Structure formats: structure tokens, C-alpha cells
Structure 1
Amino acid sequence: MSETVRFGISMDENLLASFDKLIEQKGYANRSEAIRDLIRAAQVELDWEEGEKEGVGTVTLVYNHHVRDLSDKLTEHQHAHHDQVVSALHVHLDPHNCLEVLVLRGKCKDIKKMAHELIGVKGVKHGKLVMTTTGEGLH
């Protein structure tokens, strides 16, 4: 692990008060840990924008399984990209609706593409991609 470096930050007192409130709400031990977390989040976001680094994402889908061929289309899409699908969870929410959560791993741009394709399948009621990192390169 590298050496810890101390540095100062100047900011408007109202912005600092808002930041301290955020720190308290999120349960950070101190300002330093909150700032480190913000920097890490910015690094992950940049990796996803660039698209070439390896990332991990979860795609959450809610759909009515009675929609003709929808379940088959989603399954076929997953099989076509089996090298990116790490895991899948299927939950029956009620007699009609299902929740599916997929864990995907690969180049960030490829995960985004697959997620948008799945979310865009006709009959999917709601979908969301949550993007994160493999942890490599984060300190």
C-alpha cells in the first residue's frame, strides 16, 4: 500500500456544511473517507465512459412473463452472450411479473450494449444497469 498524503481543500462554508450533512447521512467516519469514496466513484465512472476497461455490471429487469416469447428472447440473448453473463437470478414477484438480475462482466462498452439491448426488449416493464468495477486499479 502506498503512503498516505495529507492535503488541504478550500471551499465555501455552505458547500462544506452540505458535505458534512451528506457524510453524516451516509455514515462515513470522516471527511477523508468520503472524499476518497467520491474520487473512486469518479474513477469508475470514467472507466465506463471510456469503455475499454473491464467492468462489472448488474442488469435488473422487471417483466410480465405472459408476454409472448419474452422469456425466450431474454434467455436467448443471455446464451448468445454467455461469456459476459456471470450469474442470473430469477424471482417470481406475483402470478404475472418476474424480476431478473444478471451479473455481467467484460469490457464496459460491451456490458452497456448488452444491458441496453435487454432493457429494450419489447415487454420489459423496467430495466436498470448498475455499473461498477472489478476493483483492480482502485486504491
Structure 2
Amino acid sequence: MTVVSVSMPESLLERLDEFAEEHGYTGRSEVVREASRNLLGEFEERDLEGRELMGVVTVVFDHDTSSAEERMIQVRHEHEDVVVSNVHNHVGDHYCMELFVLEGGLEEISAFVRKVRATDVLSVDYSVIPVDEFEAGLAESS
């Protein structure tokens, strides 16, 4: 197996080690391998290709030590075609949360999430659902 060197803040490394211990992993390499597989597979769901999707992306960052707020504005403008709504909230004394509501295809939403993840943020969480499944659920309940 190839050995790879990765740079990360000490606080993230500590969390990684704690996670490995708490969840029975043999070490941080096993956690990183699994996380990498999951990340790479996220948008490879074939059943989402060619369908109109709606999604929610939540981003948390430290506004005192990060230029993430400016970058979030840039990413939003670069992806105006999929960003339906955006809300900015202050959380605690030092954190901001951005909530993006998206609508578009898999490629467009994937590109948006990739750009957000490439920014200096603490957390990125998202979910997507095909619009036609949502519409079908509404029709059934009528």
C-alpha cells in the first residue's frame, strides 16, 4: 500500500484519532481511507444522473480566522444558476453558518459543493433529493 503524507491542523488530527479510537478503527489511516472512499462515491450515484435535484448545503466557518465569508459570496455568484436561496447566520461568538438552497443537475450541484469544500471552512454538510420524487410524494398525498 502506498504511504501518503497529508497536512492538517492539530485539532483535526486529534479529532481523527479520537474518532478512530471511539469507533474501533485500527488507526487514522483506516479512517482516512474510509472517508476518502465515501467522499469519492458521494456524487457517483447513477440514479441521480440526468434528474433535476434540489439540495441544501450547510457551511460553518470561524469568521475571525477565515476569509470563508468572502469566498462564500464568490461561490454563490459563480453558481447563480443553481443557488435558489442563501441565508447567513451568526452562531456563538466566532462562527458563521451559511445555508444554501440549490436546484439543478448533479454536475452543477457537485461543482458547487466541491468549491465550498475547497474553502477554509470547519464543516460542510449537504443533502440532495430528486425533484420528481418530491413531486410524486406530493401527488400521492393529495
Which TM bucket (shorter chain)?
A: 0.5 to 0.7
Which residue in 2 is equivalent to 1:116?
A: 114
Structure 1 vs Structure 2 CA RMSD: 1.9
Which residue in 1 is equivalent to 2:132?
A: 135
In the TM superposition, what are the counterparts of 1:5-44 in structure 2 within 5 Å?
Answer: none
Residues 4-41 of structure 1, C-alpha deviation per residue, up to 9 Å, x if partnerless? xxxxxxxxxxxxxxxxxxxxxxxxxxxxxxxxxxxxxx
Q: Which has the larger radius of gyration?
A: 1
Which residue in 2 is equivalent to 1:84?
A: 82
Residue 68 of structure 1: how far off its partner (Å): 4.0
In the TM superposition, what are the counterparts of 1:51-70 in structure 2 within 5 Å?
Answer: 52-70=50-68
User: For the residues of structure 2 that align with 1:113 and 1:138, how far apart are their CA atoms?
Assistant: 27
Give the TM-score, by structure 2 length: 0.58
Aligned 8 A contact 2:51 2:130 in 1: no
Hey, which of these two has a bigger chunk of helix by percent?
2
User: For the residues of structure 2 that align with 1:110 and 1:67, how far apart are their CA atoms?
Assistant: 29
**Gapped runs of 5+ residues in structure 2?**
1-44, 138-142
User: For the residues of structure 1 that align with 2:136 and 2:107, how far apart are their CA atoms?
Assistant: 19
Residue 138 of structure 1: how far off its partner (Å): 3.9
Give the TM-score, by structure 1 length: 0.59
Aligned 8 A contact 2:56 2:126 in 1: yes
Instruction: Output the amino acid matched with 1:54.
Output: E
Give aligned pairs, total: 92
Aligned 8 A contact 1:88 1:101 in 2: yes
Residue 46 of structure 1: how far off its partner (Å): 4.3
| Sequence identity (%) | 28
**Gapped runs of 5+ residues in structure 1?**
1-44
User: For the residues of structure 2 that align with 1:66 and 1:135, how far apart are their CA atoms?
Assistant: 41
Aligned 8 A contact 1:77 1:118 in 2: yes
Which residue in 2 is equivalent to 1:47?
A: 47
- Stretches (4+) displaced over 6 A: none
